Structure 1
Amino acid sequence: MQHEMKAKIGLLPMYLELYDEVLPEVRKEFTPFIKRLQQEFESRSIEVVLANICRLANEFEEAIHRFEAEDVDCIVTLHLSYSPSHECIDALSNTPLPLIVFDTTKDNRFDSASLIMGNHGIHGVQDMCNLLLRRGKDFFIEVGHIDSSDVLDKIETRITGARLAKVFKEGRIGQVGGWFKGMGDFQVTSDVIADKLGFEVVQSTAEEFEPFLPRKDAPEVLAEMAKDHERFDLSEVSESAHNASVVAGLALRRWIEKENLLGFTVNFLSISRNAGLSQMPFLGIAKEMSRGIGYAGEGDVLTAALAGTVSRVLGSASFSEMFCPDWSTDTIFLSHMGEMNISLVDGQVVLYEKPWAFTDADSPVCPSGCFKEGEAVLINLAPGKNDTFSLIVSPVMMVGEMYGNAMEGKVRGWFKPRLSIIDFLKQYSLAGGTHHLVIAYGQPIGELITFADIMKWNTVVI
């Protein structure tokens, strides 16, 4: 599992040189406060790169350069006192790092004139934010004291959103067999991917998997088969079909690891009996999703990148599609050919040999199961006019198995949106939602909105 809980921030304490000249003893009073904030972030699995207290332009430049060199996800500013904006503005405006303004003070209660020196940073925040806006530098701002508000929760949400953006832009996405011909909603040009999205596409063909195929009797193949017998129901699968599926799946894993992929996509029409991968590796795909690797079908690198990013930063996610509406229960049925994140299944996964008529490839082994109940979010990255994008975020309730054994043997799940499915489906298509999506459990709405804001995408919450 490649889920990464830890984000990394640059914490930037800001101060005024004049105070060091006339009241040099005041600076040390902020040390416990800074230390406490650092510990609060670290307790949330957020690594902190702490800059020295900055007062002058060269000190800010040095701090920002260090943050960039240490590859932080974002910068969190901290006004210890008033700090003149012209000292920090060039460094902050020129960095590509996302900026979170933490507008707070050392003390929760202000009831004495003796506390003024330690608690007057808010007008420094106002000075800086005015200049940031005039320079066109985007920023987030969260306000409050850690002892009397949820400000740290809000900042953590912003930090996680920044982490999502960084992972997405730096990802490598494998594409096997190109795009599915004629399937246009998720197709964008390589120039748009490079210029607007940032991730790298690694093109491959099924034939190129030949060197990655292990022997049928290799120890790793036999060990993987034994592990499958411990966790899956294989009563419907022959030993030879299981073996062939494991061989294909391990070849897939070797390729993913060699290419250091965040996610991948396979066009099933490119799979042929005599072309490296002799079967569509559905079981291997399901296992890779459970390990935190993103996936999407039919050459869709957008959804594969989105799924990989969500899995790595937020936790397990799955590729899926909305297949059929159930008007009678106001739910929507999710499915696909044979791909799902098996770590999100309720109960034991059952494996089946799937008849295959799409190409001359061998019949694949597919997992079958139902997505578990619980709060979840459906996420879609939709291309729009003039090379724009929208992130569609839909909080839903996954409702579990609906009709007993009626859908046995299928990849399946049902969800109930916040709206009626009549209104939901209408709003989804009006927003340009594509027919591929990502399912993630929990409802990290703020994190996803922050992600979209940093990427300069539109956000649509349905």
Structure 2
Amino acid sequence: MTDTLPRVGILGIMQPLYDDMIPGITEHQAAYARRVAESLDGVAECVTGAPVRGRDDAERVVREFEDADLDGVLVVMLTYGPSLRVTRVFHELRLPVCLANIQPDPAVTPEWDMDDMTYNQGIHGAQDTANAMVRAGVPFEVITEEWPSEVFRQRVGRWARGARAATAWKRLRVGVFGYAMNGMGDARFDETALMRALGPEVVAIAPGALRRTMDELPTSEVSALMRWEDERFEVDGRLSEKEREDHARMQLGIERLLTEHGCRAYSTHFDAIGEDGRFDRLPMAAASSLMAKGYGFAGEGDVLAAAMVHAGHQLAGDGHFTEMYAMDYPSDSLLMSHMGEGNWRVARDDEPVRLIKRPLAIGNLDDPPTLLFRIKPGRATLASLVALGGERFRMVVAEGEVLDSQRLPALEMPYGQFRPDSGIRGCMDAWLRNGGTHHIVMNLGSLAADWRVFCELTGIEFVQV
């Protein structure tokens, strides 16, 4: 899902006041907008709209952007432009916005004439336009930089990825197979408030539908998946053909139902599967491989965490579902793991990902094939979405390091040890004070700044611990 670049529209704003003074100024500044777009090659796919010189222009260009299913709008002042011509557009805009406070030339020089002054006077148009967005209550990002610089590219890329995640959430559907785990309070929320405030919609999928879909799958699809696994993973010889075929049918069945329901994220709960009576095992390896394909996932019917993994995919790629399992004071780290689900794309490069036969008493079913790996050492970021009541949400984020740590031979599920930059004492004190949940998305890399942009675009309170 994140193999392609975010797609953003460049909204260049000016006015016809200067046409008589500088003939050809519209074409001249349109070429500048195109150069800005070209400079962003590799961080975003840019669609450059015609210069906006009045309200009709603005409304037409923005409609074109929305009809093209872009991820966000990058506003560039081509000259000063009075904000009342775009006020209504921003009030009604459905896409995330970034105001690029830039100008064609980085330096004022003695050689400048009035033409140069006019070409480079976007700063006060940016002030007028930003004021209009603030009055309209529109959340937006601001980037003041030299546009040919690498820093500008990086900041626009960060915003564009945040815009993609925010836009994807507005149409996200999260499938829940069965029901959520009883008594798990930090995953509870008001579904209508989530949909109004952020966009994700909850879709209930009956476990019986999964059973029927599994039974209807052609043997050729099941065999093809098993052959692919043979090539990609180190497969445990103790796994029987029946165990592997049943797991493959579960994975393919889940994905088919998610496609039919338009869901890009989902959650299963072991009790909902176990109590149904029609399943032999839990879909552990299925969750790992579907995350690796770009689906959001969380265990125990946790919609908020599944939506976060989906956002992690859109924001940075390879969102990994996990939780803080235990504290290791000697290494000042947290053992990160879950019952058996984890995105194998975050696995170490120097060890094979293993598909193992794994005894598991939870669910009271037969052994579920499980993908086992250790998380790649290096920088990483944890993020949790907290429902505060009503339409208020908070994101708790921690940056740190996945350690090149000890092996845990008895732990037959994906794992790694994460050392927060603030240490486990400081990190956990702040995490708990802010209501951070126990289901978490992990991404490789330092991404607190990316999550901050995402929160600004969606209206989520951001807390880094």
Choose the corresponding residue for 2:75, options 66, 74, 77.
Answer: 77
Choose the corresponding residue for 1:324, options 323, 326, 329.
Answer: 326
Aligned residues: 459
Quickly say closer, same or farther: Cα 1:376–1:119, change in 2 above 3 A.
same
Contact 1:390 1:459 in 2 (8 A): yes
- Deviates most, 256-265 or 165-174: 256-265
Quickly say closer, same or farther: Cα 1:21–1:296, change in 2 above 3 A.
same
Letter in 1 for 2:48: L
SS in structure 1 of the partner of residue 75 of structure 2: strand
State the Cα RMSD in Å: 2.1
The structural deviation recorded for 1:291 is: 1.1
* 2:436 alignment counterpart: 433
Letter in 2 for 1:340: G
* 1:290 alignment counterpart: 292
1:274-289 alignment runs, 5 A limit:
275-289=277-291
Choose the corresponding residue for 2:354, options 343, 347, 350.
Answer: 350
Letter in 2 for 1:210: R
Letter in 2 for 1:13: G
Q: Deviations over 1:393-417 (max 9, x none)?
A: 1111111341x35445233211100
The structural deviation recorded for 1:68 is: 2.2
Quickly say closer, same or farther: Cα 1:285–1:148, change in 2 above 3 A.
closer
State the alpha-carbon separation in 2 of the partners of residues 168 and 286 from structure 1: 21
The structural deviation recorded for 1:184 is: 0.7
Q: Deviations over 1:415-448 (max 9, x none)?
A: 1000121111111111100110011111222221
Gaps of 5+ in 1: none
Quickly say closer, same or farther: Cα 1:169–1:351, change in 2 above 3 A.
same
Choose the corresponding residue for 1:375, options 368, 374, 379.
Answer: 379
Contact 1:393 1:461 in 2 (8 A): yes
Q: What percentage of residue pairs aligned between the two structures are identical? A: 25
Letter in 2 for 1:17: P
Q: Deviations over 1:139-194 (max 9, x none)?
A: 32211222457223212212221111111221111101111001111111222222
1:137-216 alignment runs, 5 A limit:
137-147=138-148, 150-214=151-215
State the alpha-carbon separation in 2 of the partners of residues 305 and 413 from structure 1: 22
* 2:33 alignment counterpart: 34
The structural deviation recorded for 1:83 is: 1.4
Choose the corresponding residue for 1:266, options 250, 265, 268.
Answer: 268
State the alpha-carbon separation in 1 of the partners of residues 317 and 271 from structure 2: 30
Quickly say closer, same or farther: Cα 1:77–1:383, change in 2 above 3 A.
same
* 1:418 alignment counterpart: 421
Quickly say closer, same or farther: Cα 1:177–1:185, change in 2 above 3 A.
same
State the alpha-carbon separation in 2 of the partners of residues 171 and 216 from structure 1: 26
Q: How does the TM-score come out when normalised to structure 1?
A: 0.93
* 2:459 alignment counterpart: 456
State the alpha-carbon separation in 1 of the partners of residues 463 and 79 from structure 2: 38
State the alpha-carbon separation in 2 of the partners of residues 29 and 312 from structure 1: 35
Contact 1:390 1:460 in 2 (8 A): yes
Letter in 1 for 2:430: Q
The structural deviation recorded for 1:274 is: 6.3
1:12-23 alignment runs, 5 A limit:
12-23=11-22
State the alpha-carbon separation in 1 of the partners of residues 315 and 290 from structure 2: 16
The structural deviation recorded for 1:57 is: 1.9
The structural deviation recorded for 1:51 is: 1.8
- Deviates most, 309-318 or 163-172: 309-318
Q: Deviations over 1:248-285 (max 9, x none)?
A: 22222222232232111001001138644432111111
SS in structure 2 of the partner of residue 295 of structure 1: strand
Contact 1:302 1:381 in 2 (8 A): yes
* 2:100 alignment counterpart: 102
Quickly say closer, same or farther: Cα 1:12–1:373, change in 2 above 3 A.
same
The structural deviation recorded for 1:381 is: 0.6
The structural deviation recorded for 1:28 is: 2.9
Letter in 1 for 2:31: P
Contact 2:358 2:369 in 1 (8 A): yes
1:120 aligns with 2:118: no
Gaps of 5+ in 2: none
